[in-house]
Structure 1
Amino acid sequence: MKKRSRACEECHRLKIKCDVSTSPEATCERCRRNNLECMPTAPRLQRDRINELEAQIQELRIALQDQNSSTTPSGSTTTSGSITTSRSPGSLLEESHNHALLSFLDARIPQSKQQDLLYLFAHQAGAAWPIVRLPMELDHIRAKSPILLLSVLVCSFTQATQGTELDVHDELVRETMRILGDEIIGRGQRSIELVQALLVTAFWNKVTRKGQQGSCYQIVQLAADMAIDIGIAGFSLQPTPVSYFSRHLDSTSLEARRTWLACFVALSTSAISIRRPNPVPWDTHLEECLLDLESRGEPTDMLFCQIVRITQLIQEISNHLCLFHIATFVDANDFSTHATIETLKNKVEAWAAQIPPYLASSQTLKVWGHVAMVHIYELVVHTPTNKASFAAPFIPGRLPVKDFPKPATIIFPLKTALEGIVYNCHAVIETAAEMDPALVLSLPTFCFAPTVLYALYVLVTVLVAATDPANTYGQCLPKDSFRIEQCGFKLRSLTACMKEFDPTLTCWTTRMFDATGWLEEWYNDYNAILWRYEASLVNQ
């Protein structure tokens, strides 16, 4: 007799060796001892299919329970006249998820208010930082992209603009992050809508009274990885194997190109902020996306294209000057270094010259142009050991108050660079302070406020280096050239105006600008130290 080739169900379940006899009908030794029915296991493919069907049945059961209140009692068919259309368990489950999400949103922000906020987004945050384009028809976006709608309504507006109570606002922020986590991690979903929703929650990252809900840096990486998986990142970036069936149908659409460019901006911003190399360098596919968006895009896309261009240029500056490599020191008191600086300066000036005339007055682009120059000149305060201190967070406790360059002699290009970094730091702060507070709150908290704080941080660092009595920097930069008191006053005035729009400080931008209050106290203490030092020299 031929020996039975498969173990019995009981032995297979316990993962033990099945001692089958030579007779196909006979029981194994364990089943015989325990008086159990000895049934051979089904073939592997059949078992997998059975498990799949059981999972679908369970999903269908859950979907039917969730749709008991629907006008279609069974939840399995919809009838229009004499035509009946069957729906799959997967679609029923998706409808159930969307219905629960929209019910949660409607209970906290009425649909009439949602329509108003959608209009505001198009003319404020969506216009100031146009990474996504949303249709103005609320019903359309509720049906097609409910998760993106939730992310936009919750993250891109202050609690006061939402018109919600603070407890409700905090609940909305927490639930938005939970829903995203459940969709992406729990259910393994991938779509361009989820990439856009992740970008929105990262760029306009929110805080509650219980703290931050998720790390914006990790969210950005998650959005980029998903964009690669759904196939909108070009052929040079290989998606994961499990994502093969989740690829976006039209990877050359303007929506797909805009979304991947937004991922690049987010990744580059993250890289320069934490001083790590960008995992997605600029390539031919990104260039193709940019050119296509410039030629076929909407008017607001032109602003976004300029943001992409200056972001790519800042990344190029960071690569050439080794800002991402903490252990690499580039000496600013060297003529060869300033040849590179001059080349990069010319590129920034060329970018500014090609900006379309109708965007030339954009304060957002002015800020980023001056920030690019600050990055170029940042070398003047680098030493072999202090480069890590120029990564976020930009707080007084990280100021390199003792570790700064002290050259015996200063070459002329270094003197020019010292004057240039002070000028551009002031330009960043002054341009931001002159902005409409509503525009400042509309710009992404992930990169705008930290960029302004970076300029302030660098300015104070140069001040410390120049006011050291033993340092030659003081020969190039007199103390009154820093105008720290005026900078502090302008930032305080801007913060006061922002608090009128965001009195509960639910926007990170308001909180970060409010935190610049340290500047006045720190500067007074620093002046007192300098005064005591100078007085001691006089008395000697």
Structure 2
Amino acid sequence: MSSRVPPRNPVSLDAGSTEPRPFGRSSKKRRVEASVVDDFEDLERSSSNQDGSKLEINHVVPRAIQIQLLCKYREEIEPVFPFPIMKVYEELRERSPLLLQAVVYAASPGVLSSGVQDELTSIVMKLAILVATFWYRTPKNQIHIAIDRFIDLAISVSDDIGISKLDCALSVASANLGDQVSSSDAWRTWNLCYLLSASLGSSMRIPPKIAWDADLEMKLSSLEYGRDALSTDGFLYRFVRAERLCQQITVEAGYHGSDSTLEVTDHAEIRRIQNLIRDRKAQVYSSVSCPSLKLYEHVATLYLHERILHTPTNKRSFAAPYVAERLSMSDFPAPLVTPSDIPFLYGLRDACRAVLNTIMAFEVMEIAPPPLLMLSAKAYYANWLLTKLYIAVTASGNTYGAFINAESLELENHLGKMADLGDTICTIDEAYVAGKGLLSAKRLR
């Protein structure tokens, strides 16, 4: 890349004399659409030129409601997803107005009307990139999903300000308040970038955007065991480890692109992946009582056993979106069943049911507020695989049906429960993306 952009001063509402430096342009390799970056810079510049008493969203959301939404974020979202907001309201308002706008946006379902949420979208979507991406909701009258572009932008910005690479020893966070590179905030932000990109990559079956390397391992470990760690950092540490395992399985099993796919007869490789899952269970899943982390144990098993449904031509059908229009009633595996296939059939069935039963055990407000890619997307994926398995054991010409009973899948029961959960969430607020996605189960029935 060209010369690194120096650390930027915090955006202040009374910093009219300070013009933020533009960023995100230094590399064609990581450049996103120019219009996105231009909008980001223009909106940020306009925010820095405001009078301190006139926050940009004041005309949309009264101050008292902003405080209420910040409290809601801390009480309902932080306990189920480790994206902490550490500043008090007045500090956010004066020093981090863009972050405050993003928090108001993320916490708005169930409090603000859909019209107000749409207006907030235009303010936030290109500003607080990570928050906007985790809680992205496609604006009204738009069908293009921009999550991938926002992740690219977040990674590009991280490169430009220097938090994506190791520049110093990470045993202790820098005590310099102006140090944006060697701080726990920087490590936390980069790990959140990885968490988001890995989750999207596994869902969309695209190659990893952020490589897992010694630098990322060091940042994660330093964040977990550092003396200035937040109470949510252990939660984040386990989420990253869990998502890393899912990414590792999808890559090594050959589910991306034209890679050759794992064979069920490759017992050595299957045993190695199973050992990875067992190790992670001991290190991550069993050490906490958080349902969302326990869910990942079953999701990792899903990724391994998915292989039993692959054919030479249907690999892309396992990538999101998981909608009924993408189901094929003819492109399913019908091999001569061997002893190696049978454990995969039952392993897939049991893992699908375990994921869906775990989701149903959540409280509604444990599944609705967290980002789409982190929890509810796992339910869509399990529904999808269970439906594809049902086709493979019931469709004309199938060979799996002789070895596993279609009724044991309990497909109709699970789809009905997911649709009911989607209805419940949408009753609270239709803006919750989790609710809309779960309603797609109705189309699969």
> Fold-level match, TM-score > 0.5?
yes
State the structure with bigger RCO (CA 8 A, min sep 6), 1 or 2: 2
Is contact 1:121–1:127 with CA below 8 Å preserved after alignment? no
CA distance in 2, matches of 1:380, 1:292: 39
Is contact 1:463–1:482 with CA below 8 Å preserved after alignment? yes
- Give 1:355 deviation, angstroms: 2.9
Question: What is the letter of the counterpart of residue 513 of structure 1?
Answer: L
1:463 match: 390
Q: Does 1:419 align with 2:351?
A: no
Is contact 1:102–1:146 with CA below 8 Å preserved after alignment? no
Question: What is the letter of the counterpart of residue 225 of structure 2?
Answer: S
Deviations along 1:62-99, one digit per CA (max 9) or x if unpaired, are xxxxx9xx9xxxx99xxxxxxxxxx66779x7775354
CA distance in 2, matches of 1:353, 1:404: 35
Q: Does 1:222 align with 2:147?
A: no
Deviations along 1:254-283, one digit per CA (max 9) or x if unpaired, are 111011011111111121222111132100
- Give 1:284 deviation, angstroms: 0.6
CA shift in 2, pair 1:506/1:100, >3 Å? farther
1:330 match: 262
2:223 match: 293
CA distance in 2, matches of 1:170, 1:422: 40
Question: What is the letter of the counterpart of residue 509 of structure 1?
Answer: A
Counting only pairs closer than 5 Å after superposition, residues 268-287 of structure 1 correspond to structure 2 as: 268-287=198-217
CA distance in 2, matches of 1:508, 1:477: 34
CA shift in 2, pair 1:327/1:356, >3 Å? closer
2:8 match: none
Question: What is the letter of the counterpart of residue 305 of structure 1?
Answer: Y
**What runs of 5+ residues in structure 1 fail to find an aligned partner?**
1-66, 77-86, 181-196, 237-247, 521-540
Identical counterparts, % of pairs? 26
Question: What is the letter of the counterpart of residue 316 of structure 2?
Answer: A
Q: Does 1:177 align with 2:125?
A: yes
CA shift in 2, pair 1:89/1:342, >3 Å? closer
1:261 match: 191
1:398 match: 326
1:345 match: 274
Q: Which of 80, 96, 101 is the equivalent residue of 1:128?
A: 80
CA distance in 2, matches of 1:216, 1:102: 30
2:182 match: 252
- Give 1:357 deviation, angstroms: 6.1
Question: What is the letter of the counterpart of residue 177 of structure 1?
Answer: M
**What runs of 5+ residues in structure 2 fail to find an aligned partner?**
1-12, 22-44, 168-177
1:167 match: 115
CA distance in 1, matches of 2:54, 2:314: 50
Counting only pairs closer than 5 Å after superposition, residues 482-501 of structure 1 correspond to structure 2 as: 482-501=409-428
CA shift in 2, pair 1:111/1:418, >3 Å? same
Is contact 1:407–1:472 with CA below 8 Å preserved after alignment? yes
- Give 1:447 deviation, angstroms: 3.7
CA shift in 2, pair 1:283/1:475, >3 Å? same
Is contact 1:331–1:379 with CA below 8 Å preserved after alignment? yes
Counting only pairs closer than 5 Å after superposition, residues 350-389 of structure 1 correspond to structure 2 as: 350-355=279-284, 359=288, 361-389=289-317
CA shift in 2, pair 1:346/1:329, >3 Å? closer
- Give 1:101 deviation, angstroms: 10
Is contact 2:253–2:261 with CA below 8 Å preserved after alignment? no
CA distance in 2, matches of 1:391, 1:89: 42
CA shift in 2, pair 1:380/1:95, >3 Å? closer
Whose helix proportion is higher, 1 or 2? Answer: 1
Is contact 2:249–2:304 with CA below 8 Å preserved after alignment? yes
CA distance in 1, matches of 2:286, 2:411: 33
Deviations along 1:92-136, one digit per CA (max 9) or x if unpaired, are x7775354895331222222221121122122222322134332x
CA shift in 2, pair 1:331/1:468, >3 Å? farther
2:38 match: none
Q: Which of 228, 240, 246 is the equivalent residue of 1:314?
A: 246
Is contact 1:132–1:259 with CA below 8 Å preserved after alignment? no
CA distance in 2, matches of 1:347, 1:443: 26
Helix, strand or coil for the counterpart of 1:106? coil
CA distance in 2, matches of 1:510, 1:268: 23
Structure exhibiting the larger radius of gyration computed from Cα positions: 1
Q: Does 1:510 align with 2:435?
A: yes
Q: Does 1:438 align with 2:368?
A: no
Deviations along 1:376-421, one digit per CA (max 9) or x if unpaired, are 11110111111011111111221232112222231x2321111011
1:429 match: 356
Is contact 1:377–1:421 with CA below 8 Å preserved after alignment? yes
1:108 match: 60
Question: What is the letter of the counterpart of residue 193 of structure 2?
Answer: C
Is contact 2:426–2:432 with CA below 8 Å preserved after alignment? no
1:305 match: 237
Q: Which of 138, 154, 171 is the equivalent residue of 2:89?
A: 138
Question: What is the letter of the counterpart of residue 347 of structure 2?
Answer: G
2:138 match: 207
CA shift in 2, pair 1:450/1:154, >3 Å? same
CA shift in 2, pair 1:129/1:90, >3 Å? closer
Counting only pairs closer than 5 Å after superposition, residues 18-29 of structure 1 correspond to structure 2 as: none
Deviations along 1:203-257, one digit per CA (max 9) or x if unpaired, are 1012343336860111111101111111111159xxxxxxxxxxx8342211110
CA distance in 1, matches of 2:18, 2:188: 32
CA distance in 1, matches of 2:150, 2:100: 17
Helix, strand or coil for the counterpart of 1:124? helix
CA distance in 1, matches of 2:353, 2:423: 20
Question: What is the letter of the counterpart of residue 406 of structure 2?
Answer: K
CA distance in 2, matches of 1:409, 1:96: 65
Question: What is the letter of the counterpart of residue 165 of structure 1?
Answer: S
- Give 1:298 deviation, angstroms: 1.8
2:32 match: none
